[in-house]
Structure 1
Amino acid sequence: MEFPYNQAIALAEAPRLPLARFRQDVLTRVAAGWRVLALFALPGDDIPEPVCLLGRDRDGRLAFLRAEPTLAYVSLTPECPQCHLFERELYEQWGVVPEGHPWLKPVRFTGTPGRPDLPRPGPGVTDYFQVRGEDVHEVAVGPVHAGIIEPGHFRFQCFGEEVLHLEISLGFQHRGIEAALVGGPDRRTVHFMETAAGDTTIGHSLAHAAVLETLAGVAAPARGRAIGRVALELERLANHTGDLGALAGDVGYQPTMAFCGRIRGDFLNLTALLCGNRFGRGLVRPGGTAFDLDEAVLRLLDTRLEATRRAAFGAAELLFSSSSALARFEGTGRLTSEAARDIGLVGPPARACGLPRDARHSFPLSGAGAKDIPMQIHDFGGVYARTLVRRLEMEASLDFIDATLADLPPGPVNRALPATFPPDTLAVGLVEGWRGEICHVAATGPDGRFAAYKIVDPSFHNWFGLALALRGQQISDFPMCNKSFNLSYCGHDL
């Protein structure tokens, strides 16, 4: 069934489709321009029910398809590659076999806790795609990395210095956040949202807030929503700035790297002015925000923001005026728009391939205008394009923050939600985080509590894009290709 964004639907209104009809409807919609936003399962009486959420960017419509209970169906992946990781996860979490899937290997290295005896009709945990031949060799990196980043394993199949294929293995911890959300919302729920991906606290918190507001039929007040959106753009600015600096460092251009390390901290400190926490924890709550901004804070934000704008633009200009740095970016790690569309890329990597995908435009939060932040698109599809899109998005975010703080709506910042939610109802929250589209889907049970809660971090869509971008590249290109995507380990491991 189709429905508009920001509207909950009763699960009883979504018929259980025969498996062949379910599969055909998904493929028909994808061929017509819809995207797979989430593919997972709802708990049935004894057997799970596969479900698919699709979105259409041009008009912000959603479609929810529900299959009859099953433990096997004909795989969508051979005809719809963007489903490949969703189907692997569907088997891993629910035991539903997508028959004919080309590579049903684990999504998470540890599998799914509580299901150690789940039979696997395909590669094992440690099986990798391999290239054989004279002078072909493997380079293994991780899973343990330097510093504080979470584990991830990269296995390069190389011929000399050329990368033929990159195999990425994630999910070494399997944090179990989605399972812990069942039975909520409760006092722990907001904490789980704020830490789903620690550098995307605002993005995931806003997506969750949108879910509960949609379930309750309550819109956040204009002032609270505006403050939350300012925080979302500050989060984007901090991380895009960090990425520009890291990309500069990856090609040995030290001035921008050094400047951006400090400037990223300046943007984080601006977020701390909103709520006392540099990552925005404690700010966004369902129904609005937990903090208001008085005139003194607004004046301080204005002063610091202008100084940080000048510093950020100066650091970016240094990078983009360096012919040696740009020579390393241009032509490196390219993806075609067709490949990006086939595998379902989102966020800056998708927009760098010419795909107009931005939830701020297609699925705006309640109270937000669909065109108040211009979409930044490039069509070259490589490291240079992904870097340029980030720089342009920084300019657009700063302009939005300036305009919003200069005309902040009056009134309260939070509206109370009811203590109970409608039973057997489904709601969706979509937010354009700094990495790309964040999708939260909640289905309540007969008691109005979460019977299922699905989180799709943008990294889930984009990790395979990084693998494709490395094909045919020099192995020395991996650091800047990796940083031009800058995907999350923990956001993938929920």
Structure 2
Amino acid sequence: MRNAQAIPLRAVPVLPAEEFCVEVLEAVLHEARLSALFCAPVKNELGNDELRLFAVLAEDRLGTLHVLSAPAGQAYPSLTPDCPQAHLFEREIWETWGVTPLGHPWLKPVRFPQLDPQGREIIGPEIGQARFMEALGEGGHEVAVGPVHAGIIEPGHFRFLCHGEDVLHLEISLGYQHRGVERALVNGPGPRFLQHMQTLAGDTTIGHSTAACQNLEALSGCRVPAGALVLRAIALELERLANHAGDLGALALDVGFLPTSSFLGRIRGDFLNMTARLCGSRFGRGLIKPGGVGFDLDAARAEAVRAHLAEVFPQCVEAVELLWSTPSVVSRFERTGVVSRVDALALGLVGVAARACDVEIDVRQDFPVGAYAYSHIPVAVSQTGDVAGRAFVRHMELLHSEKFLTEHLTHLPGCATACGFQASPGNLAPEHLAVSLVEGWRGEICHVAITDEAGRFAAYKVVDPSFHNWAGLSMALRNQQISDFPICNKSFNLSYCGHDL
């Protein structure tokens, strides 16, 4: 199938579990990626409820998605030993549904153990205990950070296994504030559907809202006006500008380089204010709607945004170039937090983290929909896989996004931006499956919707790019000094809440 397309559920192959695993492994061996792996309850051929495994495989070079399924049963052969990018998906399936991936090398919960009103672990002590690796032998020690942090961030626990100052392994434990969003979406879309989508990860409001609306439009056969598609792309690139500028400023702060940090802290606010000019919200809430957008963009307002961008962006470029012209900053970035291309492919990294390792993947190029189908944005890559590489990719994407924005704000299509579509239960194609991919500023966002016989959501799966990339941060810290963690962590800048849905 193609991106943002719906197909009948009966068109998805249902294979025995062993054959399902073989097919997935062969696809990954031939350069496909595992965009999503999850369980969902569906009706089988006899009309009975059945828990089924689903895999969504992305074949980037062909722009094709492949969906496979299998009855979940009580257990199935684990994919992780031969396909490391499946490791977190399989742990989540085991934790949520009790389906065991036989042979998984490190089976433990994804989320912090949940307690009932009496304080007992809901998932049981044999599953709920957080088992951490241990550092044994002379000179070995552990450093525990979090889950409560000094900064204004969500809780997450980082445990460093060290020998002296060198990190042997970083173990990351998240899920302390599980919100149950995916569970809340079942039997929808309800009146709070868009609110859920806009707050899946607050810094990626446009990315997640776009992915969700593309699924609704695919399931309803709705055609989105060209004006709305262009405005969605403009908002998505403004979101990218704001976050990349903020990340580069934060990286500068972490190495004590205040000129770039101070300038980009202010300029990030300018980019957010441009989004506010489109819809009244700095984070884009209320802008993306099923069937189009919630606000029109007239020529005068588009010109005001374009003029503001033309004024601010040269200042942004100057501030970023200060990083590369300062030897002490460059020496701190280079060869710090290296992830090899081999590891990036094995772990299924996406977005900036992958492109910094010379993995040329980008949904805007490989699975283009909307304005990206006819307006190409070059893919920025680096070969170093280190903090410098991740900063360089962000720098290049700033330049590419600015060019895209200037062109489209100057030449807006003169057509409508909405079609009156309403997202309500029952008006979606029954017993269908839709997959929507969007290149958010962190990387590939994947939404999968499955409808029941009444046209309501039987299941809705969200894969934030952070879900793929946290393992990359662990690899970046191996054989690094523990003092390198702040800039390695910031160079990935992953989402806690986007990971835990």
Cα pair distance change 1:200/1:103, threshold 3 Å = same
Q: Is the 8 A contact 1:287 1:414 kept in 2?
A: yes
Aligned to 1:97: 100
Aligned to 1:7: 5
Aligned to 1:361: 365
Aligned pairs (5 A) from 1:286-301: 286-301=290-305
2:438 is the alignment partner of 1:431:
yes
Query: What secondary structure, in the 3-state scheme, does the structure 2 residue paired with 1:258 have?
Result: helix
1:234-257 CA distances to partner (integer Å, 9 max, x unpaired)? 101101001111101111111001
1:14 Cα offset (Å): 1.7
Q: For 2:488, give the aligned amino acid.
A: C
Distance 2:495 2:340 in 1: 23
Distance 1:426 1:113 in 2: 34
1:207 Cα offset (Å): 0.4
The equivalent position to 1:483 in structure 2, one of 474, 490, 493, is 490
Distance 1:416 1:112 in 2: 44
The equivalent position to 2:195 in structure 1, one of 191, 196, 204, is 191
Q: For 1:174, give the aligned amino acid.
A: H
The equivalent position to 1:128 in structure 2, one of 127, 132, 147, is 132
- Compare 250-259 and 8-17 and name the one that shifted more: 8-17
1:19 Cα offset (Å): 1.0
Distance 2:121 2:399 in 1: 49
Q: Is the 8 A contact 2:162 2:168 kept in 1?
A: yes
1:147 Cα offset (Å): 3.6
Distance 1:148 1:171 in 2: 17
2:54 is the alignment partner of 1:51:
yes
> So what's the TM-score if we normalise by structure 1?
0.97
Distance 1:231 1:113 in 2: 42
Query: What secondary structure, in the 3-state scheme, does the structure 1 residue paired with 2:382 have?
Result: coil
2:397 is the alignment partner of 1:397:
no
Q: Is the 8 A contact 1:60 1:363 kept in 2?
A: yes
The equivalent position to 1:215 in structure 2, one of 200, 219, 223, is 219
- How big is the alpha-carbon RMSD for the aligned residues of Structure 1 and Structure 2? 1.6
Tell me which stretches of 4 or more aligned residues in structure 1 moved more than 4 Å: 44-47, 111-117, 119-122
The equivalent position to 2:450 in structure 1, one of 443, 448, 473, is 443
2:28 is the alignment partner of 1:30:
yes
Aligned pairs (5 A) from 1:114-193: 116-118=121-123, 124-193=128-197
Q: How many residues align?
A: 491
Cα pair distance change 1:344/1:84, threshold 3 Å = same
Q: For 1:25, give the aligned amino acid.
A: E
> So what's the TM-score if we normalise by structure 2?
0.95
Aligned to 2:336: 332
1:299 Cα offset (Å): 2.0
2:103 is the alignment partner of 1:68:
no
Distance 2:125 2:241 in 1: 43
Where in structure 2 are there 5+ consecutive unaligned residues?
43-47
Distance 2:319 2:115 in 1: 44
> Identity over the aligned pairs, expressed in percent?
54
Query: What secondary structure, in the 3-state scheme, does the structure 2 residue paired with 1:156 have?
Result: strand
Distance 1:252 1:283 in 2: 37
Cα pair distance change 1:71/1:117, threshold 3 Å = farther
1:4 Cα offset (Å): 2.3
Distance 1:62 1:120 in 2: 39
1:398 Cα offset (Å): 0.3
Distance 1:396 1:252 in 2: 28
Distance 2:381 2:115 in 1: 38
1:175-198 CA distances to partner (integer Å, 9 max, x unpaired)? 110001111112100000000000
Cα pair distance change 1:280/1:113, threshold 3 Å = farther
Q: For 2:82, give the aligned amino acid.
A: E
2:107 is the alignment partner of 1:109:
no
The equivalent position to 1:262 in structure 2, one of 256, 260, 266, is 266
- Compare 143-152 and 72-81 and name the one that shifted more: 143-152
1:19-77 CA distances to partner (integer Å, 9 max, x unpaired)? 11111110111111111010001114455111111110011101110102412101000
Distance 1:436 1:113 in 2: 36
The equivalent position to 1:377 in structure 2, one of 377, 381, 393, is 381
Q: Is the 8 A contact 1:95 1:118 kept in 2?
A: no
1:260 Cα offset (Å): 0.8
Q: Is the 8 A contact 1:109 1:125 kept in 2?
A: no
Distance 2:50 2:296 in 1: 47
